[in-house]
Amino acid sequence: MNYFYPFLIMSISKLKMFKQLLRLSKLTSKNLKQSRNYYTVKRKAINDEQYVAKQIKQKIQAKGPITVAEYMKEVLVNPMAGYYMHKDMLGESGDFITSPEITQMFGEMIAVWLINEWQKAGSPRPIHIIELGPGRGTLSNDILNVFNHFKVLHKASLHLVEVSPFLSSAQARRLCIQSSLTSNDGPAYRRGTSHHGIPVFWYNTLEEVPSGYSLLIAHEFFDALPVHKFHQVHGSFKEVLIDIDTKDESEKRGEYKFRYVLSRHETPMSKTLIRKGETRDHVEVAPDSILISQQIAERIKKLGGVALICDYGHYGNGTDTFRAFKEHKQVDPLVMPGTADLTADVDFKLLCSTFDSDKDILCMGPVTQREFLLETGLQYRFEMLKNTIKDGKRLKNLTDCYNYLIDNDKMGERFKFLAVFPAVMKKIFERCPVVGFQTAPH
């Protein structure tokens, strides 16, 4: 059995780990019996589905066409009625599904990987577990279960960066025995205590998270950050803007619709965000992703830790990827804004160049989700769980979930993993390479 989670076994005695893993497998197969259920979060009564659209229309009427980034921000995080601010968008009854929601095996593999990297750094404490954009809190919950199992929660705390107060309360329900909104006595807007007894805090931005050795995870967070879109016309980049679609009749039917227009000239954004020698006709850039990558780099190099960024994306060759999802179908992002999720593929080349520009940072990847999960031993975990399940339906469900995560035509290829470390770890990695990232240095 010493092939199971081989990387963890590097740092803990084989026998001890083996026993612990067996216990973990029992624990999780018991959880699996209850099957992952999608609890329904009550929707705040928003009577006006057109609220966001009306706001955007007013904005455009007042100052002319807006950038796609402005549109995306308004649609997703408008405090009154933004998409993330008032609905539980995940799961079968929602608009899309993410890996942590598919099976707990996903979060387990990430948790074991984080523990292994933490041990290689000498098991520093206190530990700040940080998640950016935690959705329903499922991934953090699965990570805490594994950390608790391996008894590494001593002096640990969980820090969630979540812009939506609505989702923060859904996360609290999943993760905490108690939580409450705080008065203005610190950067956290909500505090609680997890089922495992560790403190949990919520913030609006990463910068507000207090200093400490950090195990940071961002899963499907970067793809939600607003992008500017550019189109190359006769050798110069014009910005794609959004205007009111005056010709469209849908507003009369109670539906708002917008349309794309091109800026007449280059814009300040096209001048600053387009790289020299860019050859693509269509380019999308998310400035916030550069800013947040810089904040991650600052934190990791000053305080120690590791960051794992998982998202769908490309390596600098993506073009027109801005799209919307509603009830698991791709829909027009310009129709009825606020009622569908908006997303754009993450440019991992841009993230890598931000990290690589800092000599105190070591950035690895991106590797595909398939590579990461198989190299970290997902297939052994799957086999182990399979052997504990007798019921045919549950077995099929587990197999489907496993395949969904790693099949190249499902999530295996499109989703990428990027790891960020302080450069001082380089020497340690020569002896103990980073599992999951051995095949693909960029």
Cα gap 159→380, rounded to integer Å: 31
Return the structure tokens found at 323. Answer: 């799209």
**Cβ at position 84, least distance to ligand SAM in Å:** 4
Size of the site for ligand SAM (CB under 6 A): 18
**Cβ at position 314, least distance to ligand SAM in Å:** 18
Phi then psi for residue 75, to 5 deg, are -70, -45
Closer of 162 and 284 to ligand SAM (Cβ): 162
Q: Please, what sign has the CA dihedral across residues 10, 11, 16, 18?
A: negative
Q: Does 219 bind ligand SAM (CB under 6 A)?
A: yes
Q: Does 324 bind ligand SAM (CB under 6 A)?
A: no
**Cβ at position 139, least distance to ligand SAM in Å:** 6
Q: Does 137 bind ligand SAM (CB under 6 A)?
A: no
Q: Does 313 bind ligand SAM (CB under 6 A)?
A: no
Q: Please, what sign has the CA dihedral across residues 137, 138, 143, 149?
A: positive
**Cβ at position 208, least distance to ligand SAM in Å:** 11
Count how many Cα atoms sit within 13 Å of the Cα of residue 161 in the half-sphere of its side chain. Answer: 22
- What are the DSSP E strand ranges found in 7-102? 66-67
With CB under 6 A as the contact rule, the residue among 101, 117, 142, 239 that binds ligand SAM is: 101
Cα gap 277→265, rounded to integer Å: 19
**Cβ at position 307, least distance to ligand SAM in Å:** 14
With CB under 6 A as the contact rule, the residue among 100, 192, 313, 412 that binds ligand SAM is: 100
Instruction: Tell the burial category of 188 from Cβ atoms under 10 Å away from its Cβ (0-12, 13-18, 19+).
Output: buried
Residue 200: in which H helix or E strand, if any?
A: strand 199-203
Task: Write the interaction track for ligand SAM spanning residues 106-135; mark x where CB under 6 A is met and - where it is not.
Answer: ---------------------------xxx
Closer of 25 and 164 to ligand SAM (Cβ): 164
Contact range with ligand SAM by CB under 6 A, out of 59-67, 112-120, 163-171, 380-388: 163-171
Residue appearing with tokens 């649609």? 75
Closer of 25 and 140 to ligand SAM (Cβ): 140
Cα gap 401→397, rounded to integer Å: 6
Cα gap 198→151, rounded to integer Å: 12
With CB under 6 A as the contact rule, the residue among 220, 239, 347, 358 that binds ligand SAM is: 220
Residues 27 to 86 in contact with ligand SAM, rule: CB under 6 A: 77, 84
Tell me the one-letter amino acid at 294.
Q
Nearest one of 356, 343, 383 to 227, comparing CA atoms: 343
Contact range with ligand SAM by CB under 6 A, out of 142-150, 214-222, 228-236, 332-340: 214-222
**Cβ at position 381, least distance to ligand SAM in Å:** 19
Cα gap 14→87, rounded to integer Å: 45
With CB under 6 A as the contact rule, the residue among 52, 115, 163, 241 that binds ligand SAM is: 163
Residues at the contact surface with ligand SAM, assessed by CB under 6 A: 77, 84, 90, 98, 100-101, 133-135, 161-164, 167, 219-221, 224
